[in-house]
Structures are given as C-alpha cells and as structure tokens.
Amino acid sequence: MPPNRLVVTFVFISGVAVAVIAALLTQYLRNLSISQEEHEFRHVFIPLPSENILNVYDDSKLTSALGNTELDKVQVQNIAALTAEALTSLHLALEMKLSGKKNKAIKLFQHAVALAPCHPDILNHYGEFLEHTQNNIIKANEFYVRALTYKPNHEGALMNSQRTARVVEELDRITLRRIDDKRNALSMIPDNNVALIRAKKEAYFQHIYHTVGIEGNTMNLEQTRAIVETRIAVSGKSIDEHNEILGLDAAMKYINATLVNRVGSISIKDILEIHRRVLGHVDPVEGGEFRRTQVYVGGHIPPGPDDIHYLMQEFALWLNSEQAIRMHPVRYAALAHYKLVHIHPFADGNGRTSRLLMNMILMQAGYPPVIIHKQHRHKYYENLQLANTGDVRPFIRFIAECTEQTLDLFLWATTTYSQQVPALSQETLFTKRHNTFILDAESNEILEND
C-alpha cells in the first residue's frame, strides 16, 4: 500500500477513535453530573425528626403568609397582650389582698407571674405579698432579686431586697446549722450498725433510681435494684436504659473506692474518670471526653467547644481554691454542681456527672449522698434556670433541703423509736415546716417560733 494511502487510513481511524472516546467521555460526564445532583438532593439538611416523634405542628402556612417583619409584629403583639393580661391579674390580686381574700390573691399573683415572668413590678408585688401575708421572707427576697435582675434600679425591689437580705442570710445559716446537727447525729452511729448498713444499701439503689430517672429513665426501683444486683436484663426496656443504670453504678463504686477517702485536690482527670464510667456503657467513645460540638439545653446555650478546656481549668482552680473549700460543704457542693452543669463540658451525661461530683464533695464532708427525687425534677431544673439568671441561692437552698431530707431518712431508718419522717422508699418529700421566723427589733436577733 502506498505511503499516502497509509497516512490517510491512519488519520481516518484516529478520527473515528477520537470521536468515539469524546462521545463516551461526554456521556460519562453527563451521568456524573446527574449522580452528583441526586447525591446532593439526598443530603438535604433535616432540622427536626418526624412529626410523630416530636408532635410538631405544621406552621408552614403562617410562615409563607407572613414575612419576618410581620412575624416580629405578631410576637410583639402577643407579648403585649400577655403583659396586659398579667397586669390586669396583678391589679385584681392586689384588690383581693386588700379585701383579705388571700387564696384568690395568691392564684392571681401566680397567674400574673406565669404570664409575665420578667416584669419587675409583678415580681416585686408578689414578693411583698409572700413576705407580709404568707410570712415567707426567703421566697419574697428571691422575687425581689429577680425583679432587680430585669430592672436594677427598681426602687421598690431595691429597698425590699436590702431590707430582707440580712434576715434571709441568717435564716440560711440556721438551716445549715440544723443540717450539720443531723450530720453529726448520723456520724455517731457505728459503721457496723445493722440498721445503718441496711439504710446505706437501700439509699444506694434509691440514688441510682432517682438520678437516672431525672434524665428520663423509665425503670422503676425494683427493676433498678435487680439490674444492679443480678446484671440480668429487664424485658421491655431499652439497652440504653440498662446501660445508664450500670454506668451510674460503676461511677458510684469508683468514687467510693478511690475519691471519697483521698486527701488532696479534685482534678479535671477525676471528673473525666467519673464521666467515663457514667457514659461508658452507653457511649464508650464519648465517655471521658469533652464535647467537640455545640449543644443546646433548653433556654441555656452552653459555651462553645473551643472554650471547654479553658473553662474546665478555671473550674478546677475554683474547686481547689481556699475560698471554695472554706465554704459550708452544702454550698460548696451545690455551687460545684451548678458550675459544672453550666459549662456542660460533655455531649451527654452532664447532669449525672455534676450530681456525682456534688455527692463526692458531700461524702468527703461526712454527709450521705443526696437523693434528688425524680418527682422534683421540675423544681430542680427551675432552680438551675434561676441560677442562670444570676441568683444561685434558690438552687443552693434546694440542695440543702434535699440534703436534710436524705439525713432525715437515714436517721429515721436507724432510730428505734423514730419521729414521723418519710421512709426511705416513700416518694413524698418536702413536707411543709410550720416554724416562723421573727426579727427582734431591739436585739436584732432571729427568733424561731413553732
């Protein structure tokens, strides 16, 4: 074959090959583009689970019909309407108060506070009602302080707060002295006392049952006891619920074996080791590790993950500071609990770890581990929320009350002829105390009357 014909043939074949390759490449790129579009569509961000899980109502019509400006106006109008209703309820409450109808007045005050919980006038008037009509100086002072949180220059709340502050401080000291007396009475009972040993065992199961129950665990006390003692699964309950109980049991045993009797500072490593056991059965990867993502806890937005290490170092410095250690143990333990749960350093298990740290501090000071009953979780979280607004005293008082109730249970269980205090398995706590406190104008002393 002549050279020119060979060249022509080669060029022709090459052209055909290039055309085929180009066609195939075009088809491949087109399929790749379609595949990428489908891939991107499948990864659409889903902000919430399905409606049947969260019971979320469809507000799309309202959103599409109203722009952001209109929505803001609607919200402002709703707030204004609630405030107006709250003020109307306040005026009616004041009228009921003047006419001596205390029961109706208190319901109207509570309704006003529920509608406008940040209104300083409502908070101040309700405080005055609690102080002068209900003789509840401590609660009244809390409302005065809350009013000042939202309006620092509120004249009435400022005068009321300053006037009641010293009385409230003395009442708190009386409570802590009473708790110390009960702790001292408990410490006089020999460790080999059969009743004390039995009470400790019962309280151990109670503590695990209630502290996981606060977080939503549905195991009852008998099931909790069976899991801890036998390690046998309970039918109809989730694996996570079992593992929460086993994790808390492991953390309690670790504290009892290594930290309670140890002399020295509390380190970040100690807190991480507690958390490692709390979450070890549920999520071994996250157990003992600081979170690496942002979390949201109701109305509280904890610090970002980049700040965790610094904040925990600051927390450890405070934990071991002379100022903290010299506090009354109940105050010290309650503040340690609040500060840790406020930082929220873990992805999960913050509440359980904070309560364990609190109880470790209390046990080191001779108190039994405090049982916070799951029936009081609303009050527990409400006081934590109040602490976030700037007044941590209600939370400390709540922990003090739980401490005293736990001591009462131990003393009841170890006394042959006991007073009328709740049994260890009884769930109705926080019985009303009928003592009233009066400030003697001449001696400036607190008098306690039955």
Hunting for tokens 């500072």 — which residue is that?
Answer: 265
Cβ within 8 Å of residue 400, ≥6 positions away: 172, 175, 176, 179, 330, 334
Could you tell me if 115 and 85 are in contact, meaning their C-beta atoms sit under 8 angstroms apart? yes
Q: Is 380 annotated as belonging to a binding site?
A: yes
Q: Is 235 annotated as belonging to a binding site?
A: no
User: How far from the centroid of its chain's Cα atoms is residue 267's Cα?
Assistant: 22
Could you tell me if 255 and 276 are in contact, meaning their C-beta atoms sit under 8 angstroms apart? no
User: How far from the centroid of its chain's Cα atoms is residue 365's Cα?
Assistant: 24
| Catalytic annotation present for 344 | yes
Q: Is 50 annotated as belonging to a binding site?
A: no
Hunting for tokens 């309650």 — which residue is that?
Answer: 334
Hunting for tokens 């736990």 — which residue is that?
Answer: 406
Q: Is 331 annotated as belonging to a binding site?
A: no
CA nearest to 122, candidates 147, 141, 100, 140: 147
DSSP state of 297: B
Q: Is 355 annotated as belonging to a binding site?
A: yes
Q: Is 353 annotated as belonging to a binding site?
A: yes
Q: Is 298 annotated as belonging to a binding site?
A: yes
Q: Is 299 annotated as belonging to a binding site?
A: yes
User: How far from the centroid of its chain's Cα atoms is residue 249's Cα?
Assistant: 20
Element holding 447 (H helix, E strand): strand 446-449
Q: Is 306 annotated as belonging to a binding site?
A: no
CA nearest to 277, candidates 352, 194, 225, 341: 352
Could you tell me if 372 and 214 are in contact, meaning their C-beta atoms sit under 8 angstroms apart? yes
Q: What is the CA radius of gyration of the chain?
A: 31
Q: Which of 337, 342, 344, 373 is catalytic?
A: 344
Q: Is 349 annotated as belonging to a binding site?
A: yes
Known binding residues for ATP are 297-300, 348-355, 380-381, 388
Output the known binding site: 297-300, 348-355, 380-381, 388
Active site residues: 344
